[in-house]
Amino acid sequence: MKLPGGGARLSWDPVADLCHDAYNVYRSTATGMRPALPPGSWPVDPVFEDVTAADGDASDLNVTYDFVPGPGSAYYLVVDRGTDGSDGVVGHFGE
């Protein structure tokens, strides 16, 4: 969804798991977002950067992520974060 001023908003369905704590958002600019060595290795092949703290709405508890797109293509992946602080199921790249 586009936001006023050139921003964008990602949104997703909430997680109902009992171990759910918050959401981590990762960003990749890897060409085609394809691993060099399939199935890949989360989060280094392809490289994903944790951009959770850059959320324009300043909350990792809600189901939105606001940002201003830069030049070129970027891929975003939202991963559930458990109450132990670790990533939940990534669903890609061997995780």
Q: Which residues bind Ca ion (CB under 5 A)?
A: 55, 57, 59, 62, 64
Q: Between 14 and 39, name the residue whose CB sits nearer to Ca ion.
A: 14
Round to whole Å and give the CA distance between 11 and 14.
9
Q: Between 45 and 55, name the residue whose CB sits nearer to Ca ion.
A: 55
Q: Between 36 and 63, name the residue whose CB sits nearer to Ca ion.
A: 63
- Least distance (Å) from Ca ion to the CB of residue 37? 33
Comparing CA positions, the residue from 57, 90, 56 lying closest to residue 75 is 90
Round to whole Å and give the CA distance between 19 and 32.
32
- Least distance (Å) from Ca ion to the CB of residue 78? 10
- Least distance (Å) from Ca ion to the CB of residue 11? 9
Tokens 């050139």, located at residue: 6
Which tokens go with 71?
Answer: 């030049």
